Each structure stands twice: as C-alpha cells, then as structure tokens.
Amino acid sequence: MKVFITGGGGFLGYRLARTLLERGTLTGRDGKAAPITQIKLLDTVFPPQTDPRLQRVQGDLSAPGTIAAALEPDTASVFHLASVVSAGAEADFDLGMRVNLEGTRILLEACRQLERPPRLVFTSSVAAFGGELPATLDDSTTPKPQTSYGTQKVIGEYLVADYTRRGFLDGRSLRLPTIVVRPGKPNLAASSFASAIFREPLGGEIYECPLPDTTGIWLLSPRKVIEAFVHAHDLPETAWGSNRVVNLPGITITIRQAVAELRRIAGREVAERVRFKIDPRIKAIVDTWPVRFATPRALAMGFSADSDIESVIRDHIREQGIAV
C-alpha cells in the first residue's frame, strides 16, 4: 500500500509519517490490515534529518504539475495536511487561496485520476466555526468561518465530500482542535500562543502571551491527533456514511488554568515566565474561535481526547527530555 502525505515535512505530517513507519500497516478497503510499501512526503521544506525510509518530494502543492508528477498511480492512501496556517492565510489572502483552496482542488483532481479511488484524510480545523456561537457547539452547529483560513477549510470539506459522493475518492475530513504542545519554534498560526504558553516557560524562556488569561482553548495533544488520523483512515466507509466530516474530541482550558497547571507541575519560577502583552490582531482572530464542544459523533466513532491537561504537559516534558 502506497501512502502520500502532503505537508509531510511539517509538524503533524512528519509525525504521522514516523508513526506509519513504526506501525507498518493501514487498513485497506477490504477492512484488512495491508502492509505499507511506500510513504511519500510532499512539502516545500523538510526537517534537516528525514528518515531515509521516507521518500521526499520538494515542491509547491499548488504549482502546475507538482502533484500529478509526485502522486503514483497506485497510491492507496492520501493524508492532506499541507496548508498555509491561520494567521498566514489572513495576512496573505492570495497565498491562502492558492495553497489552501486551489492546492486542495488540484490534489483532489489528481486523486480522481488514480487507478483506484484512494482513501483521503483531510485536516480541517475548528476555525470552520465563528460568528455568533452557542456556549457549547455540537455536531449540528453550522460552520460560519470568520477568517479566510476557516473559509478555505470549509470549502475543502465540501469538496472532499462531493468527490466522495461522486466515487472519485473515499474522503474523511477532521476538524482539529488546537494541537498542544507543538515543539520547536512558534509558527504563523494565531493559535501559536496555546503551545508557547507551556513550551517557552518549560524551555527556560519568558513568554509574552498576546491574549488575556480568560481566553479559552479547545485542545488536543499531538499523540492523540496522530492516533485520530490513523483511526479516521482505518474506519470503514459505513462508519462515515454520507457525513464525511467530524469534530474531533478535545479538552477546554483557559490560559489562567494552563498557567496554574504549569505552576503545579513545574513550579512557581516556571509559571512566572508567562507575561501578558495583548496583541489586538491575534485577539481579533482567536476571539472568533469556539472553545467548548460536545462531540458525541466522534466519540461514538471511536475517536478520543486526552484525559486532562496534565497528561498533555507531561507528554511534552517526556518527549523533550525536560527535567522538572
């Protein structure tokens, strides 16, 4: 079974690739575990040391011919993660439209030309929701995105659903909570604060939080989201039916609770490295995002969230080898 991951050089794409290498199999259309024979990553940049068992294609998803040349005719599984992230797509409208919208359409068209309709997992986002929202969103809440990024993700979901209905592919879209803790450097996502609030103080740095401490976050750990990608892929078509998008489960915390938990786990000195300097531009984007969800459909389908914020922080501490 050949696997293709767009955004395979990124935070979640590369993690997914390593997980698939360890796992060695994915479920095929017949419901049986099939050995993975190739994992190909498409991205504009890659980590400095990529596992040699992974094939890399460096290129722009939205450039003419890139996908068609990279995607092998017998590819069975596609994970579409490449994206210009939220604040990036808000700052550069044309770039967001080109990569997030045109790029997705180009990928879906290329999938349509494959020997057999592939299974495709698309990473959407809770940025699909915005505007006037109920206190707790649920599976029946209508997406009304208030950012270009959110709009591009929702259009992607609809395209994935229609290409599926037409029988061109077997698509599954996941609305991801904010993934915390993201290691490394901050990125252009407006949600960058949600990881930085843990990562920077635990790494010995002062962090200037751009949002007030009453701000809520709907989050999921990297470990759980990778588990969700594989689970979404492996579920039979009947588990999805005609509804090809699901809100993933997560947990809700406020920044104040995050700092309190940091203090409890890592001590007062670490927690006091969080300072506040409000950035109205980031605040305007984050204020449109929902923070509380009921996700009965996802839970019934077998997706799950982290048990609590402590386990999310401890995952990061363990992975990064931080002494606390």
Ligand X SMILES: NC(=O)c1ccc[n+]([C@@H]2O[C@H](COP(=O)([O-])OP(=O)(O)OC[C@H]3O[C@@H](n4cnc5c(N)ncnc54)[C@H](O)[C@@H]3O)[C@@H](O)[C@H]2O)c1
DSSP letters for 13-44: HHHHHHHHHHH-EEE-TTSSEEE--EEEEEES
Q: What backbone phi and psi angles, to 5 degrees, belong to 322?
A: -85, 135
CB closer to ligand X out of 161 and 189 = 189
Q: Cβ(200)–Cβ(273) under 8 Å? A: yes
- CA distances (Å), origin 192, targets 102, 112, 183, 208, 322: 25, 35, 11, 12, 20
Give Cβ neighbours of residue 241 (< 8 Å, ≥ 6 apart).
Answer: none
**What is the nearest approach in angstroms of ligand X to the Cβ of residue 238?**
26
**What is the nearest approach in angstroms of ligand X to the Cβ of residue 226?**
10
CB closer to ligand X out of 223 and 263 = 223
**What is the nearest approach in angstroms of ligand X to the Cβ of residue 133?**
17
Residue length, the chain? 324
What CA–CA distance (Å, rounded) separates 62 from 41? 15
What count of other Cβ atoms lies within 10 Å of the Cβ of residue 230? Answer: 18
CB closer to ligand X out of 34 and 46 = 46
**Nearest residue to ligand X, scored by beta-carbon proximity:** 10
By DSSP bridging, strand 25-27 and strand 33-35 are antiparallel
Where do contacts with ligand X occur on this chain (CB under 6 A)? 7, 9-13, 42-45, 60-62, 81-85, 99, 103, 123, 125, 176, 178-179, 187, 191
14, 149, 163, 207: the active-site residue = 149
**What is the nearest approach in angstroms of ligand X to the Cβ of residue 63?**
7
Please give the structure tokens belonging to residue 146: 């208030």
Q: In which residue are the tokens 């659903």 written?
A: 161
What CA–CA distance (Å, rounded) separates 177 from 257? 18
CB closer to ligand X out of 102 and 269 = 102
**What is the nearest approach in angstroms of ligand X to the Cβ of residue 66?**
8
Q: Specify whether 149 is catalytic.
A: yes
CB closer to ligand X out of 27 and 100 = 100
Q: Cβ(93)–Cβ(194) under 8 Å? A: no
Query: Catalytic positions, please?
Result: 149
